Structure 1
Amino acid sequence: MIVFYDSFCSMCRNSSIIWKKFDWNNHLTFESFRDLDSYPKAMEENLHVKENGQWYVGFTALIQIAKHLPLLWVVIPFLYLFKMIGLGDYIYKKVAANRKLIPVNQCNDEGCQLPANRD
């Protein structure tokens, strides 16, 4: 499974570090979509996961990640419950919309390259 995260987002970077520590069987591969030559604009707004040729986005991607991390198996029923009642997607969208983007290693003598305004 490939987890495409936003390396400009400290919450996303920290989450990927924690998930790596929980990934005892090395099922997850992490890649910043910012390092790709091109990527869909939707990756700037939601977490994307690709597994066996299928894409998962947002809260559904979080569920897929949890399935591969034994320490998180206990919360999977709650994640599905939140998904069914719409609470999971609602909370995910609120958090994703309010995250702070800070470009790492994007500064030079002329200043910092900031991502375009998402509004």
Structure 2
Amino acid sequence: MQPITVFYDGWCPLCTAARQRLARLDWLGRLEFVSIRDPGVAERAGVAPERLAARLHVHTPRTGRWAEGIWAVAAIAARLPLLWPLWPLLALAGVTGLGQPLYDFIARRRAIVPVGQCDETGCPLPGQG
């Protein structure tokens, strides 16, 4: 199985801690992590910087498909054996329409370091300021 690319916010302590935990669970090498705060990431990904800053994104190179928010979390869970039991719950949350608003609620309240880089429209990426 080809790894998926996980685009996470490297300025967010919650996000970087989750990335570290997921990397420890990824003993099969199914995830590749890229910080959206690295220069040129948004351009290479072909996704608007504001979208990358608002939600977790995953890209499946084999199919070219993208997932974001709760669907990105579900895609990650589907690839890590220890998280397989969570996948049906995440998928159900996505299908019922409850998962994305909950995901967005948490994502809007996450801390960003350096402080003061974000406003109500999102968080600028380097070079996008």
TM range (shorter): 0.7 to 0.9
Secondary structure, aligned partner of 2:37: helix
Query: Does the 8 A contact of 2:57 with 2:69 survive in 1?
Result: yes
2:127 maps to none
> Shift in Å at residue 26 of structure 1?
0.6
Mapped to 1, the partners of 2:79 and 2:39 lie a distance apart of: 24
Determine whether 1:4 maps to 2:13: no
- Greater C-alpha Rg: 1
Deviation at 1:38, TM superposition (A): 5.2
- How far did residue 24 of structure 1 move? 1.1
Q: Which residue of 2 aligns with 1:115?
A: 117
**Residue 47, structure 1, aligned to residue 50, structure 2:** no
List alignment gaps of at least 5 residues for structure 2.
43-47, 122-129
How far residue 116 of structure 1 moved from its aligned partner, in angstroms, is 3.9
Contact between 2:13 and 2:111, CA under 8 Å: does it hold in 1?
yes
Q: Which residue number corresponds to residue 88 of structure 1?
A: 99
Partner of 1:61: 72
CA-based RMSD of the aligned residues comes to 1.5
- Look up the SS of the partner of 1:36 in the other structure: coil
